[in-house]
Amino acid sequence: MSDLSPIVQTRARHVQTRARHVLRLLAAAATASAVASAVPALSGTARASAAASGAVSGVPALSGTVQVPAAGGGAVQDASGAGIGCDVAAAYYDVAPQSGNIAMVRQAVLCLIDAERVRAGLRPLTRNSALDAAAASHADAAARLKWWRPGANSHTNPQTGSTPGSRITAAGYCPNPLSWAYAETTYTGWGGSGTPRAAVRWWVHVSTYGHRQIVLSPTLADVGVGAAAGAADPAGAGASGGGTFVVDFGRCQR
């Protein structure tokens, strides 16, 4: 259901020629079900026992660029200046996303990621609307098409051929840079394992495929979060508590 080689793509532009440096660090997706119990499956698919109830969903982006602090702390500022605290988002850490709570579920993912970064002595990430759009579109497509079966590449849409790089570029992230880099992590789960907490825990504390290195990267500074209701693995189709997550990370020098 996922490629095993995580990929971080780094690009540099110079005065006369364009140099492209590729560092493979794009993260594999994880699948969690309510049945198996922490048993690694084929092709980078991880199956974990169900924990808590609920699932995760959707993806509407907050408008503009958002600075998100560590979980349990202060406020997130959106383009309108309204403050949304991670203490509020904490109520959605173990909640399945639905049409009315998608924004808060996405916020919960980011608060949990930033909490892990702060524990590691790193700065919180800056929410970026272009990365939000790229991550959101991919999460929605994955939950709808359900191609994240064992052995599939979770980062490439089989219908459109879109990749993290093409989606992020199309969304308008970091145009005409001196240098830039990006990375993507994906996760899907069901039966209570499709929650923000389950996704972030898998990336940081369970996966050995490079997810932790991406989430805790000291050089990636920007982030966009996508989430969709339902599992992206056909094995979880129709199951309760299903959720699909995509997080796009970036660094832009202009």
Per-residue pLDDT of the chain (254 residues), as tens digits, is: 333 334 566 554 432 323 232 233 343 334 443 221 121 221 222 222 222 222 222 222 222 222 233 333 333 444 222 246 899 999 999 987 777 888 999 999 999 999 999 999 999 999 999 999 999 999 999 999 999 999 999 999 999 999 999 999 999 999 999 999 999 999 999 998 999 999 999 999 999 999 999 999 999 999 999 999 999 999 999 999 999 999 999 999 99
Hey, what are 9's tokens? 């793509």
Rounded to 5°, the CA angle 201-202-208 comes to: 130
Within 10 angstroms of residue 216's Cβ, the number of other Cβ atoms is 17
Whether the CB-CB separation of 247 and 135 falls below 8 Å is answered with yes
What is the value of pTM for the model shown? 0.74
Q: Are strands 126-127 and 179-189 parallel, antiparallel or unpaired?
A: unpaired
What are the φ and ψ backbone dihedral angles of 208, each rounded to 5 degrees? -115, 20
